A and B are shown apart, each in its own frame.
Chain A
Amino acid sequence: GAGVSQSPSNKVTEKGKDVELRCDPISGHTALYWYRQSLGQGLEFLIYFQGNSAPDKSGLPSDRFSAERTGGSVSTLTIQRTQQEDSAVYLCASSLQGRSYGYTFGSGTRLTVV
């Protein structure tokens, strides 16, 4: 596609429910990243995909968080038993592989846990 697409754009959920956030990267971008941005804060790394594998999951805050990527394309970030501290904007980015390429970010999913 022309850009990185994320859905939903907004999600309000009750504490304890599970949520799924979707990311559709730019076609041909083998690298895919999930970051989290809390209000007024910087971007916190969550997970990195190279193709369908995730060689770096070091940023996932707890075992309630998981992510997968299928077909080297769409990725889903799942948060189980949501807590209020999970409220944030979840950003997905994709890039060509290698250190000399910039990221293209999606517009994010704003998650609010009530």
Chain B
Amino acid sequence: QQPVQSPQAVILREGEDAVINCSSSKALYSVHWYRQKHGEAPVFLMILLKGGEQKGHEKISASFNEKKQQSSLYLTASQLSYSGTYFCGTGYNDYKLSFGAGTTVTVRA
């Protein structure tokens, strides 16, 4: 049930855009996105729910295609602080998340 993330890694220059994708083989209840910096705890970015509701803490954007069982996270006008590993967590019920292997984002000056 582990979702598949792509790409595995991406290198950006400041100001560039990137898209991270998360695909599931099963119908999704919800999708969470987290960012983890080296040696730190994963930090919640956004949640997308079946039915279209979205909740997030930062100025990021994401989409959730229920039919395709996919979600995408959009990093726009990237900053150095965007560097880290991004994980999607897919929910198939109302409590447990299965996490993807992560996408490592490196933003260079």
Residues in chain A within 8 A of chain B (CB atoms): 4, 31, 33, 35, 41-45, 48, 50, 56, 91, 97-108
Contacts and interface: CB of A to CB of B under 8 A. Distances in A.
Given A45-B97, A104-B44, 17 more contacts: A4-B41, A41-B101, A42-B2, A42-B100, A43-B99, A45-B98, A48-B95, A48-B96, A100-B47, A100-B55, A102-B46, A103-B32, A103-B34, A103-B89, A105-B43, A106-B41, A107-B41
B102 interface: yes
Interface of B: 2, 29-30, 32, 34, 40-44, 46-47, 49, 53, 55, 57, 87, 89, 91, 93-102
Contact of A105 (B41, B46, B49, B102): B41
Q: Which 9 A-B pairs have the closest CB atoms?
A: A102-B44, A105-B41, A99-B94, A43-B99, A42-B101, A42-B99, A107-B41, A105-B42, A99-B30
